[in-house]
Amino acid sequence: MDVERANESSHFQCQKVLILPNIQQTARILSGDPTSHLADSVLGYTIDRTSLENTHQELFIRTACLLHKIIFLNDTTSLFGWCCLILDTEGFLHRFPLVFSENADKPPPPQVYEWAAKMELPPKTERFVKIKSSGSVTALLSATGSLWTRGLKADGTHDTSDNFVLLPAFTAEEGQIGSSLGPSYITHFYCEGLTLTVILGNGAVLVLGFVQTYNSWDKTIKNDGFIELTASTMKPRFIKNLSKTLSSENGNFGLFGQFKPCKYYPFADIFLTDEGVVFMKTFHNINRSVSHYLTPLDPSHFNHCRIITCAQQSSDVFVSETGILYLLPRTRQSHEVIIRLQSDIPTIRLEIEPTNVKQVFMATQHSVYVISRDGFVWKHELRENEEEITDVTPLLMNEAVIKTEEQNIVPVKFLLSGIQTVFLFQ
């Protein structure tokens, strides 16, 4: 595999992980409400790099994700057990059992430790470069280009065994995965509910798990399965009022037509192409029959600019190459999307240069947060057509310092793992 390419987005050497139970708790911290920064007001965990199992060298944290399981304490009582899986800078995995409760300092019940300990991880001889999880489904990209998975069987049905396996579809040969476009390396993969979406360097898109919504393209597709969205049998289904001047002709990329997909945004039903074109999945319901479409949004909706990244929570946020945030109220009904794109889309100008944008996320209906490559978190708000931009890095830092008593750290990455939020500090 092209290991250097896989490492490009995985080079962080982080000191701490701050884990919060949901996006609402994240919003409380970043709201500026002083009561939100009391150590006992936000239920969460921190994990320090010194907690990593280490026998021979100084290790740092590269990234992290969260796995969950319903744990039965007795015949009548159960809880959600969590396990934070950490990838260190040497490519090895570490697991930390935890439970989100009113008392974050209280250790998890022994049943949670037992579950985490019995989880069958890949052999210790394997090294990894990326890990992601939705809680129920987890995927680990190895340095050899293969993708180890937990939570899904080869036929796309849910696997409750908690073992990590190497499925044939994601077993690399000379670092590459097969597809109808030919073999290529994995560039991105995404865990979303009970679905795993994988994008290859040649633009192929593979989906394992819940795929029922793609039945609109191929009636033989069942609820669960393994499909390729870029297969020649998958034809474009565009809505003309959204795609406008963009070609709907068949191309090399299946239901994307002539456009090469390069990124996917879980829970937003949005793909981004290598040319900065947004593909949005929408639906319409006629006589109780639901039809789905995946349509490229004409660049005229964004002042003819390329889109460089997206975010989604209560609204869709599109970031243009010119540094403009476009805020579109969240909807996926085709006619409502058309109406909202034909109206004036609210916009906010970025506080930083677009090239300095590392990540974008939302925590409240009116707030967009931008993490810059130099370790700042900027809050962008639009209320009654008035823009307000605030550096909220100190608020997040205060929470991390309270929980870790470490002063010299800066946030470098935000992760949404299932409904939990994870911040990495460097």
Residue-by-residue DSSP string for 258-286 = T--EEEEETTTTEEEETTS-EEEEEEEEE
Residue 345 has pLDDT above 70, yes or no: yes
The stretch 52-81 carries a mean pLDDT of: 85
Its domain, for residue 153, covers: 134-234
Q: What is the pLDDT of residue 4?
A: 35
Is 84 in the same domain as 187?
Answer: no
146 within 8 A of 171, measured Cβ to Cβ: yes
Helix (H) or strand (E) holding 146: none
18 and 111 both lie in a single domain: yes
Examine the domain organization and report whether 118 and 148 are in the same domain. no
Q: Is the pLDDT of residue 159 over 70?
A: yes
pLDDT of the residue at 5: 35
Q: Give the count of domains, the chain.
A: 2
The answer to whether residue 322 is domain-embedded is no
Residue 319 CA to its chain's centroid (Å)? 17
- What does the pLDDT read at residue 175? 95
HSE of 205 in the Cβ direction (CA atoms, 13 Å)? 25
Task: Output DSSP code: residue 386.
Answer: E
Which domain-ending residue is among 234, 253, 279?
234
Question: Does any domain span residue 161?
Answer: yes
What mean pLDDT is predicted for residues 119-133?
A: 95
**Does residue 18 lie within any of the structural domains?**
yes
Claim to verify: residue 173 and residue 208 sit in the same structural domain: yes
Residue 309: other Cβ atoms inside 10 A: 18
Task: From residue 247, give the alpha-carbon distance in Å to each of 205, 243, 298.
Answer: 20, 8, 10
Q: Is residue 365 part of a domain?
A: no
- Pairwise pLDDT comparison (191 vs 79), residue with the higher score: 191
Same domain for 22 and 64, yes or no, is: yes
Query: Is 276 a member of any domain?
Result: no
Choose the weakest-confidence range: 57-66, 113-122, 241-250. 57-66
Indicate whether 21 and 85 sit together in one domain: yes
> Mean pLDDT over all residues of the chain?
86
Where among 183, 215, 234 does a domain terminate? 234
Of 198, 215, 234, the domain-final residue:
234
5 and 115 in one domain? Answer: yes
The listed range with the strongest mean pLDDT (122-131, 324-333, 352-361, 377-386) is: 122-131
Residues 173 and 205 in one domain: yes
Are 20 and 110 contained in the same domain? yes
Same domain (yes/no): 70, 108:
yes
Nearest one of 138, 81, 84 to 115, comparing CA atoms: 81
Domain assignment of residue 166, yes or no:
yes
87 and 68 in a common domain: yes
400 part of a folded domain: yes
Q: Which SS3 state, helix, strand or coil, does residue 78 take?
A: strand
Lowest mean pLDDT among 89-103, 130-144, 270-284: 89-103
- pLDDT band with cut points at 50, 70 and 90 for residue 38: very low
Which are the contacts of 59, defined by CB distance < 8 A and separation ≥ 6? 49, 52, 88, 89, 90, 92
Share of the chain above pLDDT 90, in %: 55
In this structure, the answer to whether residues 188 and 98 fall within a common structural domain is: no
- What's the order of all strands across the beta sheet hosting 411-417? 45-48, 16-20, 420-425, 411-417
What pLDDT sits at residue 329?
85
Whole-prediction pTM: 0.91
> What average pLDDT does this structure show over 125-144?
96
Alpha-carbon span 272 to 279, nearest angstrom = 6
Does residue 369 form part of some domain? no
Q: What confidence score (pLDDT) does residue 11 get?
A: 56
**Using only C-alpha atoms, what is the Rg of the chain?**
22
What confidence score (pLDDT) does residue 33 get?
A: 62
Query: In this predicted structure, which of 269-273, 286-290, 307-311, 400-404 has the lowest mean pLDDT?
Result: 400-404
